Structures are given as structure tokens and as C-alpha cells.
Amino acid sequence: MNLTVILGSMAIVGAIGVLWWGVTARPSAARGNLFAGLTQAELPVDKSESILRRLGQTTRRFLPTSLVDKLEVNLVQAGYPHGLDLARIIGIKVVLAATAALLLLLAGNPVAALILAGLLFFLPDYWVLTMRDKRQAAMQAAVADVIDQMTICVEAGLGFDAALARVATTTEGPLTDELRHTISDIRAGVPRAQALRTLADRAQIAEIRQLVTALLQAQKHGVPIAQTLRTQSAEMRMKRKQRTEEKAAKLTVKMLFPIVLCFVPVFMIVTAGPAFLSLGHSL
């Protein structure tokens, strides 16, 4: 077998192993945040994680600022999956690219080494984007229910901050995590309006941005919070229904390709196959 194919396969397998090791390694102490209020309890740091972080911090100086900032924003919106911070994810990117490039250079194929190294360098970025999209979808689905709970709490006599804290302690999910960060900001002395705007910046979801805008307008003009929450809840449920109907309408088109590719050939073999066999025997 060609040595390039062997080493290329080893590079891909090794890259997957490095990515898995980097993702599942123990998270470290409090990490930096593009926005305020995102911290984690201190945990012991193992040697491998420390090496990844130092490698990432060193490499960050040589990367374009726009690329680093975009990755950091995506990490914030993804909720720092598996405890990954910016330095550690950059370290993983470097190790992935270096592993693939080294193995293919040993095989004497610099062009393939350059291409594969570039692809593997941006593989963690794609993974972070995937985790971000999943998290944002989960928050979109939970907005209406969370607003309903806040409405019940406010109508029961709780203030807005107390209702926010009550919902954050009785529910789970990515949106609840963002609410807890917002509560931490408010308790740390950040004005409520600024804490809510920071929530919208972190989430980057139209529904949450609309909710924050409505709450700030209600606070400014003296509109009852319960009435604003009730109106926003109705709108969120209508939007969720419209998204479901839109997905159902697209389902027919999405099913067309697998049906034509997988079902129709088998159906033709089962139905027309015996007829062609009989015709062949008769001839």
C-alpha cells in the first residue's frame, strides 16, 4: 500500500484522537470572557491541559485578530462546550494541523500536508459552530416556556429580579444558564438594563433580543412587567408554531432525494426484476 495513504490515514485517525482528547480533558479554572459575567469554579489543571493552553496562548499572537475574535464570540455563544476556553481550542487547532502535516511530510507529499493541515486547523471552528447552533436552537425552543414561568411569578407578587432568580433555580438548560449569568451580573452591581443587553449579546437570538427590548421599553415607560411578559409569551409561541409549520413544509422536499435514491431503485428491482428474469428464460 502507498506510504502516503498509510500516513494520511494515520494523520486523520490521530487528529480525531487529539480532538477527542482536547475536548474531553478536564476544564480549568475561571476562563476569560468576551462579555461580562461568565466564570467557572476553580478546578485542578492537569499537565496536558496546561500544555494545550500555553501553546494556544503563544499561537494566538500570530493569528489574525478578526479570526481570534470571531472564534471567541462563537465560543461565548456556544456556552464554552466541555469547558473549552479560547487558548485551549487554539492549542487543539495547532496540534491537529501539526500532526497531519508532519505525517504527510514524512511521506514526501507537501501539497497534501498543506491541504490537510489547513482543513484540520479549521475543524474545531466547525465543531464550535455546530455546538453554537444546537445551543441557540435549544434556547429558541425554551424562550416561551421561560417567559410563561416569569409571568406567573410576577403575577404572584414577585419583583422582576426575584422572578428571574426563581425561574433560573427551578429550570435547566442553556437559556437557564444565561439567566443565571444575568442574575450574577445584577447581584454584582451591574444595572439591570445593561445586564439584560449583555444577555441579548451573548445569546444572539432574535426572540431574546425582542424580549429584552420590550422589557427595557416597559421599564422606561412604566408599563406593567406582567403585561409585557404575557404579550411576549404569546408572540414567542406564535413564532415557535410558525417555525414548526415551516419545517413541516420543507420536509416533503427533503424526503424527495432519499426516496428517489434509496426507495425507487429497490422498488424497481423488486417489481420489475422477476419480469425481466422470466423474459430472459423465455428467450
pLDDT at 224 over 70: yes
| Distant-in-sequence, close-in-space partners of 34: CB < 8 Å, separation ≥ 6 | 69, 72, 73, 76
pLDDT for position 83: 81
CA gap 2, 12 in Å, rounded = 16
Query: What is the tens place of the pLDDT at every residue in 127-160?
Result: 999 999 999 989 988 888 888 888 889 888 888 8
Query: What is the tens place of the pLDDT at every residue in 52-86?
Result: 788 888 888 888 888 899 999 999 888 888 888 88
Counting Cα atoms < 13 Å in the Cβ hemisphere of 133 gives: 6
pLDDT for position 31: 41
Residues of the chain with CATH 1.20.81: 134-239
The pLDDT > 70 percentage for the chain reads: 82
H helix runs in the chain, sequence order: 3-24, 47-60, 65-78, 86-106, 110-121, 123-155, 160-170, 174-187, 192-203, 206-221, 225-258, 264-282
pLDDT for position 35: 43
CATH of 134-239, one of 3.40.50, 1.10.287, 1.10.10, 1.20.81: 1.20.81
- 20/117: higher pLDDT: 117
Contact between 36 and 66 under an 8 Å Cβ cutoff? The reply is: no
DSSP 44: -
* Residue 44 pLDDT grade (very low, low, confident, very high; cuts 50, 70, 90): very low
* Residue 34 pLDDT grade (very low, low, confident, very high; cuts 50, 70, 90): very low
